[in-house]
Structures are given as structure tokens and as C-alpha cells.
Amino acid sequence: MRGQMNIIVAVDEKWGIGKNGDLLIRLPEDMKFFRIKTTGNTIIMGRITFESLPDKKPLPNRNNIVLSSQKNFAPEGVVICNSIEEVLKTTENDDPNSLFIIGGGKIYQSFLPHCNTAYVTKIFASYDADTSFHDLDKSNEWQITEESDIKTSKKGVKYQFITYKRITD
């Protein structure tokens, strides 16, 4: 287990992340933060997350890896892996700091043990979510190492960028 990858996620106050395979809310400021962090790097996602991307196409200027159990799933421009082990093997020679887990819920859960940094956009609102992320604030394995000021989006939603690091002995 490598423990070096990054997670990037937007959560609401209850650590909800999505509903019906989509984001709870789209904040342009969060999208920009995501773009800055992931451009030029490798993003790892599940099939449902991939299918929620604009036009169901890979995100530009990134190496897109999609984890799918569907053997016939083969969109253009992405690397398909059929297991977590295959993703780890595919990325074993990559700089771990360039690897970003971008969702969805099951992918986050599966890869959390392989990550040591989590970039969390915390949205100070609650939504009707059907998918959640592990509450890092209640975990004794993670600590906040950086946090932005609380910002207000153009839509009037308050949010904050928070970096968590895994606590190592």
C-alpha cells in the first residue's frame, strides 16, 4: 500500500458529496480550484463519475484513469482499469503527488487508505445527498494542515478550501 496519492473532493456540512451520480452543487470557484490542482496530473475516477463529465469525455490536459468492472466499457482517451490493484500497478511508476482520486463515493472509500493528502472544499450548507465521504474531522488519522479564509461564492454559498494530511507516526 503506497499511501501517497491525493484525494480532491467537495463536501457539504454533513460530508455529503453527491446525489444521483452528480455533484450536490457546482461552484465555479471549486471547479477552478479542481482544474488548477489536477491539470497536468493523473485523475482516477469510477465509471459513473466519468459518465457525469461534460459530454462524457476525458478531462483535458490530464491522464484520465477510469475504474470500471464493465469489461466492455472503452471510451476514447482514457485508461480503463478493472480493479484497484490494476490502478495501483498502472500508476506505480508515477509521482504519487501527481495522482488525484476524484470520485465517486466507492472510489473515494476504496482509495482513501492509499492517500496521504486530501484537498477538501467544505461547503457550509446541507444538501439532500445519497453519497457521502468519510468525515475527516472525526478521524484521528487526519489533521488539517492548511485552510483558506471562508469565502462566499457568486451564488451566495459559503465555502472553504481545507487541506488534510494523514498523520504518520
Q: What is the pLDDT along the chain (169 residues), one digit of tens a residue?
A: 456 899 999 999 999 999 998 899 999 999 999 999 999 999 999 999 999 998 999 999 999 999 999 988 889 999 999 999 999 999 999 998 999 999 999 999 999 999 999 999 999 999 999 999 999 999 999 999 999 999 999 889 999 999 999 998 6
pLDDT given for residue 1 in this prediction? 44
pLDDT given for residue 57 in this prediction? 95
d(CA 101, CA 67): 11
d(CA 126, CA 149): 20
Closest listed residue to residue 118, CA positions, set 5, 7, 2: 7
pLDDT given for residue 88 in this prediction? 95
| Cell numbers that stand for 84 in this block | 484497484
pLDDT given for residue 45 in this prediction? 97
pLDDT given for residue 3 in this prediction? 63
Which class in CATH covers the domain with range 5-166? alpha beta
Q: Which residue stretches of 39-162 are H helix?
A: 47-51, 84-90, 105-111
pLDDT given for residue 80 in this prediction? 96
Sequence-ordered strand ranges (E) for the chain: 5-11, 16-19, 22-23, 42-46, 63-67, 79-81, 99-103, 115-123, 131-132, 142-147, 151-152, 158-166
- How many CA atoms are closer than 13 Å to the CA of 100, on its beta-carbon side? 20
pLDDT given for residue 21 in this prediction? 85
